[in-house]
Amino acid sequence: MRKCLLCENNIPHSVYIDGKQRFLSKRNYCLECSPFGKRNTKQLHIEKDHKRVCSMCGIEYQGGHHKHKDRCGNCRSVFYRKKTKQQALDYKGSMCSVCGYDKCMGAMHFHHVYPDDKKFTIASYMFNKFDSLVEELEKCILVCSNCHSEIHAGLIDAIEIYEKQQKIFTKYTTPIKEEKIKQIKQPIERPTKRPEKEILEKLVWETSCVKIGEMYGVSDNAVNKWCKFYEIKKPGRGDWEKIKYGKLDKPEF
């Protein structure tokens, strides 16, 4: 009789559950440790410690991402938000457009000059890639928290500042890599005239449509369309083997 690997109690050979006989000879755990029908395939008798210590905040956390095993989920999100915001700050000049303040990242705000054109707030999309924020950043000016409050109070004209910046800052453009330019292929010059019916009919029974297409610089699908146009009967499946062993004769042209 087998023993449970967790509690070391004997496991019966069979028991009746819901009026049916269930065989337990292959189970590693008894029904008390692993109830019937729970589909428990874990190794319950082996204690596993999945707790880790975050390298940034020092707090113990359960599990961890396979790419960031030394950071908890909260620190990963904070790190990514700061990284994206720093890219946005560098793109907008890294200083307040009004007073030139550039000390604290948390005090820098992105103000939409025309609120009607705003699709989303920059702060709510910091988890996205920086390229997805560029279009919305073009509608904003970078200001500190103090100047931002004065703009909403009507003490600073944000539209005037925005128009001055349009003359200074260039729009964001993604550089095209040379490798992508090399991959651009010139259009293939294809023949406009199809071969005559007699020539195509002989070729179809001598070689495959793929090789015929290579001869004329077209695809095998184009050769099939030529055969439909001329109403040429092509060899069917297995006909080449029959011709090879003399079970089928090629048509005479």
What is the predicted pLDDT for the residue at 209?
A: 86
| pLDDT tens, N- to C-terminus, the chain (253 residues) | 788 888 888 888 888 888 888 888 888 888 888 888 776 666 666 655 566 777 777 777 766 555 566 777 778 888 888 888 888 888 888 888 888 888 888 888 998 888 888 888 888 877 777 888 888 888 888 899 899 898 888 888 888 888 877 765 544 434 444 444 344 334 445 455 778 888 888 888 888 888 888 888 888 888 888 888 888 888 887 887 887 778 887 777 6
DSSP the chain: --B-TTT-PBPPSEEEETTEEEE-TT-SS-TTTS-TTS---S-TTS----EEE-TTT--EEES--SS-TTS-HHHHHHHHHHHHHHHHHHHTTSS-TTT---S-GGGEEEEESSGGG--S-SGGGTTS-GGGTHHHHTTEEEEEHHHHHHHHTTSS-HHHHHHHHHHHSPPP-PPPPHHHHHHPPPPP---SSPPPHHHHHHHHTTS-HHHHHHHHTS-HHHHHHHHHHHTPPPP-TTHHHHHHTTSSPPPP-
Burial class from Cβ neighbours inside 10 Å (0-12, 13-18, 19+) for residue 212 reads buried
- Whether residue 67 is contained in a domain is answered as no
- Whether residue 91 is contained in a domain is answered as yes
98 vs 112: CA distance, rounded Å? 15
Supply the pTM of this predicted model.
0.44
Which residue range(s) make up the domain with 121? 84-168
- Whether residue 30 is contained in a domain is answered as yes
Closest CA to 207 of 250, 164, 144: 250
Q: Is the separation of the CB atoms in 111 and 95 below 8 Å?
A: no
> 203 and 164, same structural domain?
no
- Whether residue 252 is contained in a domain is answered as no
115 vs 124: CA distance, rounded Å? 16
- Whether residue 47 is contained in a domain is answered as no
- Whether residue 148 is contained in a domain is answered as yes
What is the predicted pLDDT for the residue at 67?
A: 55
- Whether residue 112 is contained in a domain is answered as yes
155 vs 149: CA distance, rounded Å? 9
Condensed to tens digits (0 to 9), the pLDDT of residues 115-152 reads 888 888 888 877 777 888 888 888 888 899 899 898 88
- Tell me how many domains the chain contains: 3
Q: Which residues pair with 46 in a beta bridge?
A: none
- Whether residue 190 is contained in a domain is answered as no
> 154 and 210, same structural domain?
no
- Sign of the torsion formed by the C-alpha atoms of 64, 66, 69 and 73: negative
What is the predicted pLDDT for the residue at 167?
A: 64
